Amino acid sequence: MAASRTLIEARKGSIPLARIALRGEAILTNPRFNKGTSFTHRERQAFGLTGRLPSRVNSLDEQIERAYEQLSSRQEPLRKNTFLQSLKDQNWVLYYGLISKHLKELVPIIYTPTQETMEEEFLEQTVRQGREVDLVVCTDAEAILGIGDQGVGGIAISTAKSVMYTLIGGLDPARSLSVMLDVGTDNEKLLNDKIYVGWQHKRVRGEDYDKFLDKFVQLVRKYYPHSLLHFEDFASKNAYNLLMRYKKHHAVFNDDIQGTGAVTLACLMAAIGIANDHAHNKKGSLASQRYVIMGAGSAGLGIATQIRDAIVAADHVSKEEACSRFWLIDREGLVYETGEGMAKGVGEIKGRLEGFVRSAEEGWKDNVPLLDVVKKIKPTVLIGCSTAAGAFTQEVVQAMMDGGCERPIVFPLSNPSRLVEAKPDDLMKWTNGKALVATGSPFPPVKMNVGGQEKQFIIAECNNALIYPGLGFGAVLAKTKELTDKMIVAGAHRLAELSPAVRRQKSEGSDYAGEALLPDFQEAPKINFEIGVAVAEEVVREGDSGVDGLTVKEVRERAKEKVWVPLYADYEYDPKGMV
């Protein structure tokens, strides 16, 4: 049984009675309370629905089966997306129940961008209505899904992220808020489009932009002090600045920076648990690795920062010493100090590089290629987020092995798959099955002959959705006012422990046999529940919980009560009930 259904089954029979003040058309058009044909005969009579619905009462499972048949009749992803959006507008439980049952198939569909509108004043209106909110997902739509400035159409990514927090993280959709911050657009097509519904003005930048964002964040802090504020698809510079500006004042999160870093850290922890550190004749630690990261943008720096912070926390070394284990390569070569400052091409991120810039005393030159860096420093870990297709050549990987790394850890993470730095089947072939590989896009298993035996290697997908919904659920569960580095690392540790490869090694004590370094995406709801528990436990340990008297031992049971799953409650009409 799929993990998502397991959570649903666990809650069956424990859903409380809901007292509802809506009747007739009002309840049928309210997606939070509408059950469609699942309204019982008792409920139909109590809520004035007799004659408004077909006579037969369907179970939720029957509704899901019928909805899936309707969805399957639509061939194009965009038409499937439209059907699902329409279903979400009608019935939240059925929408989430359907996707939960077909998680791997339908998550890519609900991420398809569609255009909707949202007024800037929506947040204020919601506050005046007294709505309780646990999650706020906002975007200014400047860097949507790698396709750039989408204007107010970017609201689709905010709503999609909110859906993922509910679908995989268990957050109540009634307590989520999706926001589009319309600060204009630099998309010329939209600026010249007569029917564009957004503000047809060049993007506001500088001081005015900062003041507007600060006003928004302060509203969130004032009215929703224990909410998680998720920044989504902001341009690289703004994303980093917002995260740094507010991370000590509110529970804020940026998936492009922290989510990518956290899931990669978890995958790395799993890989290190399998690979031997032959230089010390013991299992390697995070601090004992040498890291080359190709790509010094938001993703690359997010990964480097997350791993560095984990090294500091786990191996009790200074931040400077941890930074010394990294070599970052940008478009024009290794990032290092020169007589005129830093290597070219990193001006926008100069303030973010901190200790990751290599010293000029090491003798580096401009435009040092990846192969030369690998030969000189003999890395044990090679990570790619450069979109430089094929950059991890056989020569590069062989140089890692020639440097004494018997089991090279190679993560070509660039998306989409056509831009990957190396294909998994090539990496396994070049290393005779020794490489420990994870990718940013899904790839099929690699089947090959190793030592006269046919083996299959499952390629882990470093999908952020394996961790960020759980990080958010844990933060909301424990009502933390700050999502700290230790909390994120705690979530990554729990994800690494749930690695199929690690679990098999611990249970059987046998060598790596090709299992994935990360769980399959179909297990994402169960995995994120565990991550949420780990994060909330760390919140309690740090003394930052806003839940009075919450102890570490109580977190798991509290989480079981808090998680939202798509199941219908029993309704009873009450004019003073929910509306």
Q: Which residues of 483-517 are buried (b: 16+ CB within 10 A; e: fewer)?
A: bbbbbbbbbbbbbbbbbbbbebbeeeeeebebbbb
The two structure tokens encoding residue 339: 């007589």
Taking the C-alpha atoms of residue 413 and residue 264, their distance in angstroms, rounded to an integer, is 9
Q: Is 276 flagged in the annotation as binding?
A: no
Distances (CA, A) of 319 to 254, 352, 488: 22, 14, 17
Q: Is 415 flagged in the annotation as binding?
A: yes
Instruction: Based on the residue annotation, tell me whether 486 is a catalytic residue of this protein.
Output: no
Helix boundaries (H) for 12-49: 25-28, 41-46
Phi, psi of 282 (to 5 degrees): -155, 170
Q: Is 187 flagged in the annotation as binding?
A: no
Instruction: Based on the residue annotation, tell me whether 161 is a catalytic residue of this protein.
Output: yes
Distances (CA, A) of 69 to 34, 54, 66, 208, 370: 20, 19, 5, 50, 50
Cis bond upstream, residue 416 (ω within 30) = yes
Residue with tokens 């400047």, as numbered in its chain: 142
Q: Is 232 flagged in the annotation as binding?
A: yes
The residue annotated as part of the active site, out of 111, 196, 209, 573, is 111
Helix boundaries (H) for 59-195: 60-72, 77-90, 92-101, 103-110, 122-128, 155-167, 188-191
* Element containing residue 540 per DSSP (H, E): helix 524-541
Q: Is 53 exposed, middle or buried (0-12, 13-18, 19+ CB in 10 A)?
A: middle
The residue annotated as part of the active site, out of 35, 101, 161, 423, is 161
Quick one: how far is CA 186 from the chain centroid?
Answer: 27
Task: Return the closest-CA partner of residue 438 out of 517, 527, 522.
Answer: 517
Helix boundaries (H) for 259-407: 260-274, 298-315, 319-323, 370-377, 394-402
226 within 8 A of 546, measured Cβ to Cβ: yes
DSSP 17: P
Residues with catalytic roles: 111, 161
* Binding site members: 232-233, 256, 415, 463
Where is the binding site for a divalent metal cation, in residues? 232-233, 256
Give the residue numbers of the binding site for (S)-malate.
415, 463
